[in-house]
Structure 1
């Protein structure tokens, strides 16, 4: 086992969503050498070799892994915090155990822009998604506030290809 434990350091109210929490936890080992492997395993993550750090989302939670610790935003409660810590510990240990069969990825993924997302939307500005324009909807897709299934037009047959492209693009957002 590479990472023996993760120790919760503190919990605070979440800045992004007041009914949720954010927390910081400390690793029992430096995990910076595992990050390029995590970057290959978690396709939606983003590796920054300069810090080093690895950031990804699990459901609505934003998880930042650093060499010796991690921070998480938008966790539900303390129980959820411990669950996320267990998830990250398992992810790191499984990645370490399998690293000989994983090609490390040292590249930083770039997030698509709202305009790139918008280019795949139907551009009807119908307001059915709750936004006044499709570009506003695209921005909310990038931040995770909205989901693709909230655009009724994307379910239509003529937009199936665009829906697939959007799903692929948002995997890296």
Structure 2
């Protein structure tokens, strides 16, 4: 087991003191930098920095950033939820490290669709029928994987097919 222990600190968001969520910061008692390329290969980081090793993951509307000596989780309700998420990522780190012989390490983040490319296929009417304020916001949500081309009621057959073909080149589930 690579990562055994950590100390958890809960902090309020200084930019938004009235926010309904807090951030969790786990200070790791063991260095996990060597495991991060393997964890990235398993979980598919949205961003990976090789030096110093840092992997950032998006899951359930929150960001989890893992460095050699620290794990941060944003937008948690309380200490209990932060601890649950930290323990989950600790299991992922330890499993990836234990199985590293069978995992090809990955030293870059998962490729994501470009908002500008998505916008080229949208009608750009800002009609709000997709429940987004603008087509730009809708394109951002598509790039994140939170929306699909079917959510735009004004996307015609040819444009929809071209957009779907473009989006199919990416793994939007990570």
Whether the TM-score (by the shorter chain) exceeds 0.5 is: yes
Alpha-carbon deviation of 1:140? 4.6
Alignment gaps of 5+ in structure 1: none
**Any unmatched runs of 5+ in structure 2?**
none
Aligned residue-pair number: 171
Match of 1:10 in 2: 10
For residues 18-73 of structure 1, what are the alpha-carbon distances to aligned partners after superposition, in whole Å with 9 as ceiling and x for unaligned? Answer: 11111211112101111111121112432101222110111111011111011111
Per-residue CA deviation, residues 97-155 of structure 1 (Å, 9 max, x unaligned), is 1110000112345554321232354545331123343123223555x6x9205824399
Alignment of 1:121-132 (within 5 A): 121=122, 123-132=124-133
Q: Distance in 2 between matches of 1:74 and 1:170?
A: 24
**Aligned partners of 1:47 and 1:53 also within 8 Å:** yes
Is 1:112–1:172's contact at 8 Å kept on the other side of the alignment? no
Aligned-pair RMSD on alpha carbons? 3.3
Deviation for aligned residue 1:11: 2.5
The TM-score, its normalising length taken from structure 1, stands at 0.79
Task: Give the deviation of 1:83 after TM superposition.
Answer: 0.8
Indicate the larger mover: 37-46 or 123-132.
123-132
Distance in 1, matches of 2:154 and 2:64, equals 29
* C-alpha separation in 2, matches of 1:167 and 1:76: 34
| 1:11 counterpart SS class | strand
Q: Distance in 1 between matches of 2:156 and 2:87?
A: 40
Alignment of 1:19 onto 2:20? yes
What secondary structure is seen at the aligned counterpart in 2 of 1:73? strand
Q: Name the stretch that deviates more: 93-102 or 110-119.
A: 110-119
Query: Which protein is bigger by CA-based radius of gyration?
Result: 2
| Partners of 1:33 and 1:8 in 2: CA distance | 22
